[in-house]
């Protein structure tokens, strides 16, 4: 997931507060709904690459597995 800026000062996006809340909410839903693990044979690399913004040297790859057996339990009517 890549976070994109919304501008600043007088030209800031009017929806920035809602977008920040929705990003956090969406991430929380993904973390709650799935068990996450590395692909078979993969190692977790924590090395960073120096740039204007610090990034991981190798991107993180994770495999999601649904936590609940019935998909309809994830959605409320």
Binding residues for heme: 13
Distances in Å between the Cα of 65 and the Cα atoms of 29, 31, 37 are 13, 11, 8
Distance between CA atoms of 42 and 57, rounded to whole angstroms?
Answer: 15
User: What residues form the annotated binding site?
Assistant: 13
Q: What share of the chain is helix, strand, coil (3-state, %, to 5)?
A: 30, 15, 50
């Amino acid at each position: 997931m890549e976070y994109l800026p919304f501008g600043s000062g007088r030209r800031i996006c009017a929806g920035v507060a809602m977008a920040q809340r929705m990003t956090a909410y969406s991430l929380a839903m993904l973390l709650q709904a799935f068990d996450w693990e590395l692909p078979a044979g993969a190692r977790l690399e924590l090395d960073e690459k120096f740039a204007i913004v610090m990034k991981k040297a190798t991107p993180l790859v994770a495999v999601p597995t649904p936590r609940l057996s019935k998909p309809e339990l994830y959605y409320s009517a």
